[in-house]
Amino acid sequence: MSETVFLDRETLDGGDLDLSTLAAISKDWRSVGRTAPGEVALTIGEARIVITNKCVIDAGVLDACPRLELINVVATGVNNIDVDAARARGVTVTHCRGYGTEAVSQHAIALMLALSTRLIDYHQAVQRGRWEQSPDFCLLDYPIRELAGQTLVVVGYGDLGAAVAHKAEALGMNVQLAERPGVETPRAGRLTFEAGVECADVLTLHCPLTDSTHQMIDAGILKRMKSTALLINTARGGLIDEAALARALRTGEIAGAGLDGLSVEPPVNGNPLLAPGLPNLIVTPHSAWGSRRARQRIVEQSVENLHAWIEGAPIRCVT
């Protein structure tokens, strides 16, 4: 049996990454494109080290794989790992951090720009032949706004939020920071969540999905936003009440939204935000993080994680 097993390589590598340094760590390496849920324990077998992105490793899998000592998650989120069960069995869990800061912040700005310039609407108008039918040299069917001078409110000011703020300032935006919901006394230099929502021309979310942030953007919050405001979410889909957002877009409560992902991914049973005809909405398929460079950083961090663990000084540990 293999010493090291990568359970779901294809969720990270589309054939464009260099995995040689990762494969070279173990004397016996096996890489599997995808592992079905019912075959995780069988695929792990007698391996001591497992690399995974989204495969679920719960207490049952851990019990079936007693030789397992290290789980390295090639992502930041570890909700697919029973961390408590791993800790109880002495299994170390490591993950990767900060690899997608540039890619995700770039994507957030791209969504702001596309919504503000109505880029997709104009592109589709040209494809429909509207420009060819125009009596004028140009089409100005959709209102265009400039981001310069607009107020960007950032909720979640970690590395990602800071990177978005930096890029937005380069565009001439007025950047404000807001606390998460429930904070009544904001830190110096920050607004309450409610005050931030009300003053935002663009509201961008960069906070984790927790019990306190679940559907933090609900019908009440959407009503408090400016009718000209844009909502950007490159964090987790569950931060937004999606049915409420669909209604707000239809009724013009806000001017547009740009989202990278939804509450359930992939949305195999549909989603209110996938309904046809929603105005000025852009949904991308949780792809903001996926630049080749960002994914190669994950490989590089994983190599560091495995080397450090082998040397007895593990890094980026969850357990």
Name the DSSP class of 167: H
Residue position matching structure tokens 């007895």: 312
Q: Which residues pair with 93 in a beta bridge?
A: 71
CB proximity list for 188: less than 8 A, separation 6 or greater: none
What one-character-per-residue DSSP string does 186-232 give? Answer: PPTTEE-HHHHHHH-SEEEE-----TTTTT-B-HHHHHHS-TT-EEE
Catalytic residue among 89, 286, 300, 304: 286
Rg (alpha carbons) of the chain, rounded to whole number: 22
Give the 3-state secondary structure of residue 305: helix
C-alpha span between 229 and 206 (Å, rounded): 17
Number of neighbours of residue 47 by Cβ within 10 angstroms: 24
Q: Is 3 a catalytic residue?
A: no
Say if residue 146 is exposed, middle or buried (CB neighbours under 10 Å; 0-12, 13-18, 19+): exposed
Catalytic residue among 236, 295, 297, 316: 236
Q: Is 179 a catalytic residue?
A: no
Q: Is 286 a catalytic residue?
A: yes
What one-character-per-residue DSSP string does 45-109 give? Answer: TT-SEEEESS--B-HHHHHH-TT--EEEESSS--TTB-HHHHHHTT-EEE---STTHHHHHHHHH
Question: Catalytic amino acids?
Answer: 236, 265, 286
